[in-house]
């Protein structure tokens, strides 16, 4: 679970003007106005234990919170900034409360940290035009990262963002690790947090790829980030509706779409970092609560096809995506075929088939590389995604489907 929360949760819509010049933010928010808005940030309904309980019920394994986003407002106590939740507004260290709740619920902890900070004019000028100002700004960034990695115990993921200094000729973001002295920064992080996972947005590959709002498929190399490598750990970060921060209304993805996205991430060998934008008072939007609760119900009986599962070598055809674990293949039927469905390209023998949620057996016929699942009920047992488990003789294998004709 990704959590975008802070003073940018106040407007409740995405109309709030951005200072991000790259986003075409013509209407800039004067710094004084931004600081004034921070005084309205009153998280009176912030109950991080409730966040963690709902996340855990949804099957979430780790939660990443925006400790400081581009607007410069830190949810944690910092010796190098007054623009923080403990000193401006709530008078609380919200990151400390978040960390404690995650530990109480045994959910792993991720810190999102934006390298970019609109409160520092040097960021807008850049290292070339303001080398001295940039050095001071970079020292501020290093100091805050050190605070995050020192003051809150064991942290599992450090999720940088906002490291780009410009946009290259192809429209890709130019993340310049030298500008952040990222090698030294991440060496410090690993010294303080030896087991931590660091994402690729300080400009160095580090441990995790971070495709955004898109789910990579194995053969697709060039995504939002030309450095993306599908053969190393990655997670797709994605909004549940249209915005990262709280936005009333807008288009909310259905629970089915979110479950299918999760399956497609696992099918591609990655994780799904699904975002929630809590309201400024700290409560979750009803739409997010409903979707997380439904995802949890689905995960409760189908989690076996997700946790520790990987890419399945054969596809599910029109029925839907597939995942695999050990000697079991999982067909995620998202387009219900009525009576029967075929899987093509299966190289080894299918021993049995069953509905994963209920254990009910399914009659299966296999003729060479074609497997037919027969006598299926007329309607989908789970219209979001009905998972069928195929017990195989050995780990699932496939023929190169392109050489097969059915």
Q: What is the contact surface with ligand FHN in residues (CB under 6 A)?
A: 161, 212, 237, 244
Query: Buried b vs exposed e over 239-250: b needs ≥16 C-beta within 10 Å?
Result: bbbebbbbbeee
The minimum distance between CB 278 and ligand FHN, in angstroms, equals 14
Nearer residue to ligand FHN within complex by CB, 112 or 137: 112
Q: Output the residue with the shortest Cβ distance to ligand FHN.
A: 244
Nearer to ligand FHN, 63 or 350 (CB): 63
Rank residues 237 and 312 by Cβ distance to ligand FHN and give the closer one: 237
Q: Is 72:117 a contact under the CB 8 Å cutoff?
A: yes
Q: To the nearest whole angstrom, how small is the minimum distance from the Cβ of residue 237 to ligand FHN?
A: 5
3-state secondary structure of 5: coil
Interhelix angle 255-267/286-302, rounded to 10 degrees, is: 50
Residue among 9 and 323 whose Cβ is closer to ligand FHN: 9
Residue 170 to residue 148: CA distance in whole angstroms: 34
CB of 283 to ligand FHN, least distance (A): 20
- Give the separation between CA 155 and CA 86, rounded to whole angstroms: 21
* Residues pairing with 63 in the sheet: 109
Q: How far apart are CA 111 and CA 109, in angstroms?
A: 7
Closer CB to ligand FHN, 250 or 368, in the complex:
250
Residue 168's closest CA among 22, 20, 25? 22
Token pair in block for residue 213: 């709002």
Residues in the chain: 406
- Rounded to the nearest whole angstrom, what is the least distance from the CB of residue 171 to ligand FHN in the complex? 13
| Nearest approach, Cβ of residue 366 and ligand FHN (Å) | 44
Pick the closer one to ligand FHN by CB: 93 or 161: 161
Q: Minimum distance between the CB of residue 136 and ligand FHN, rounded to whole angstroms?
A: 23
């Amino acid at each position: 679970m990704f959590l975008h929360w802070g003073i940018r949760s106040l407007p409740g819509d995405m109309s709030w003007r951005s200072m991000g010049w790259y986003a075409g933010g013509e209407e800039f928010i004067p710094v004084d106005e931004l600081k004034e808005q921070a005084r309205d940030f009153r998280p009176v309904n912030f109950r991080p234990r409730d966040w963690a309980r709902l996340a855990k019920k949804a099957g979430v394994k780790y939660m990443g919170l925006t400790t400081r986003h581009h607007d410069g407002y830190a949810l944690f106590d910092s010796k190098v900034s007054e623009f923080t939740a403990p000193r401006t507004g709530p008078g609380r260290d919200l990151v400390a409360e978040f960390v404690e709740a995650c530990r109480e619920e045994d959910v792993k902890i991720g810190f999102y940290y934006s390298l970019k900070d609109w409160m520092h004019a040097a960021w807008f000028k850049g290292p070339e035009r303001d080398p001295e100002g940039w050095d001071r700004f970079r020292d501020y960034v290093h100091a805050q990262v050190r605070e995050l990695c020192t003051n809150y115990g064991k942290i599992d993921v450090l999720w940088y963002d906002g490291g780009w200094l410009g946009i290259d000729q192809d429209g890709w973001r130019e993340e310049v690790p030298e500008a952040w002295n990222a090698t030294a920064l991440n060496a410090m992080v690993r010294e303080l947090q030896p087991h931590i996972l660091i994402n690729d947005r300080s400009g160095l590959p580090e441990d995790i790829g971070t495709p955004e709002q898109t789910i990579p498929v194995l053969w697709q190399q060039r995504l939002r980030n030309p450095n993306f490598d599908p053969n190393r750990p990655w997670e797709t970060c994605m909004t549940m509706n249209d915005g990262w921060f709280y936005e009333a209304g807008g288009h909310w993805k259905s629970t089915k779409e979110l479950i299918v996205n999760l399956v497609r991430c696992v099918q591609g060998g990655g994780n799904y970092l699904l975002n929630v934008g809590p309201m400024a008072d700290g409560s979750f939007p009803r739409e997010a609560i409903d979707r997380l609760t439904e995802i949890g119900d689905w995960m409760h009986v189908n989690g076996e096809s997700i946790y520790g599962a990987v890419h399945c070598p054969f596809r599910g055809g029109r029925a839907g995506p597939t995942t695999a674990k050990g000697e079991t293949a999982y067909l995620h039927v998202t387009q219900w075929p009525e009576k029967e469905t075929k899987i093509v390209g299966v190289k080894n023998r299918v021993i049995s088939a069953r509905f994963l949620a209920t254990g009910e057996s399914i009659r299966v016929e296999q003729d060479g590389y074609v497997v037919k699942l027969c006598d299926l009920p007329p309607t989908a047992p789970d219209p979001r995604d009905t998972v069928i488990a195929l017990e195989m003789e050995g780990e699932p294998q496939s023929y190169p489907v392109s050489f097969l004709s059915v």
